[in-house]
Amino acid sequence: MNRNMDLVRDILISVADDKSEILKKYPDQEVCYHMAIMIEAGLLIGEALKNGAGVLPVFAHVDRLTWQGHDFLDAARHEERWAWAKKAIGKLGGATFQVWTAVLTAYVREKLGIK
């Protein structure tokens, strides 16, 4: 399964704002997988469970965002900023989480006139 950064953003919004309905547009297995990797990455506090034979998680419970999760959401929440970052990164064909964070942060710094 590939990482879907729109889903990553939507999960962060869903947890922070208690709006689980925004995740209904994604398949349950994809949401569960993304929650599991976000827990591993330190964006979320929670637990992902696997069935006995499977590699993919079958259930994920999230308690809250971490500091890093809040920081990324603060950078990614604004629709215009998110669209700009997606367009910029789309030209590359994808990027690491650190690049996403750097691109979003650069946008904010530019808008604030910070070098």
Return the structure tokens found at 72: 């990324």
Taking only the tens place, the pLDDT of each residue in 12-54 is: 999 999 999 999 999 999 999 999 999 999 999 999 888 766 6
- State the chain's mean pLDDT as an integer: 93
Query: Structural domain of residue 98, as residue ranges?
Result: 5-112
Q: What total number of domains does the chain contain?
A: 1
If you average pLDDT over residues 90-97, what whole number do you get? 93
Return the structure tokens found at 33: 């997988």
Strand-strand pairing, 44-50 and 57-65 = antiparallel
Greatest distance between any 2 Cα atoms in the chain: 53
Compute the distance between CA of residue 75 and CA of residue 101 in angstroms, rounded to an integer: 7
Domain of residue 21, CATH code: 1.10.10
Task: Tell me which residue has tokens 């996403």.
Answer: 100
Compute the distance between CA of residue 93 and CA of residue 113 in angstroms, rounded to an integer: 28
Per-residue confidence (pLDDT) for residue 54, from 0 to 100? 67
Per-residue confidence (pLDDT) for residue 78, from 0 to 100? 95
